[in-house]
Amino acid sequence: MSSKKIGIPQEIYQIKVTLLGTRPPIWRRLLVPAGLTLEHLHDVLQVAMGWEDCHLHDFRVGQKRFGIPDPNDRLMGLPATGNERTVRLFTVLRKVGAKAVYTYDFGDSWEHAIVVEKVLPPEPGLAYPVCVGGKLQGPPEDCGSIPGFYNLLEALRDPAHDEHEEMLEWVGGDFDSEAFSVDDVNQRLAPLQRRQPKG
């Protein structure tokens, strides 16, 4: 066993991720290794929520911010950003009930509440991360934050809406806001998964 792995817990966190401001809520329930870096958690969240990783992001835990450090932050008097490549999930969310906010796309400001629901032993032979639940399809990229998203849905649902044709074309002819499949998410997560050793 490599010395690098010593000290990294093998537990699995069950986390619930909810896109704030959505009614009914757009959410995912995920099982992720406690030792995952925040950089890798970002990759998992992008897949789980259906984002395309085209924009900047960060994590906020209490008063601390984690992401890709920017040397200009210090020059502008902003607090330093913790490096998401080196910070592991278990070091910032230490117990059941711990919370974080993941923001994607600083223009549209998609804020996701992350809550640790359970800390579980790894299941031998199971590959993590894995999605175990969720509801509704995430918004398309660049639709103009929460108000823009609901305007888009309204226009798509109403053929008499002034923007119906334009929005239909913009989303590529079809957008089913009700569509969600755990299996689809897990297929997309497959390249990020690592199998747990069998006892």
Report how far Cα 110 is from the mean position of its chain's Cα atoms: 10
Write down the mean pLDDT value for the chain.
91
6 pLDDT band (50/70/90 cuts)?
Answer: low
Q: What is d(CA 64, CA 177) in angstroms, rounded to the nearest whole number?
A: 33
CATH 3.10.290.30 range(s) for the chain read 3-137+178-195
Q: Who contacts 147 (Cβ-Cβ below 8 Å, separation ≥6)?
A: none
DSSP label at 3? G
Q: List, for residues 89-148, the tens digit of each pLDDT value.
A: 999 999 999 999 999 999 999 999 999 999 999 998 899 999 999 999 999 999 999 999
How many residues comprise the chain? 199
3 pLDDT band (50/70/90 cuts)?
Answer: very low
pLDDT beyond 50 at 83: yes
58 pLDDT band (50/70/90 cuts)?
Answer: very high
The amino acid present at 75, given as its one-letter code, is: L
Q: Is the domain covering 3-137+178-195 a CATH 3.10.290.30 domain?
A: yes
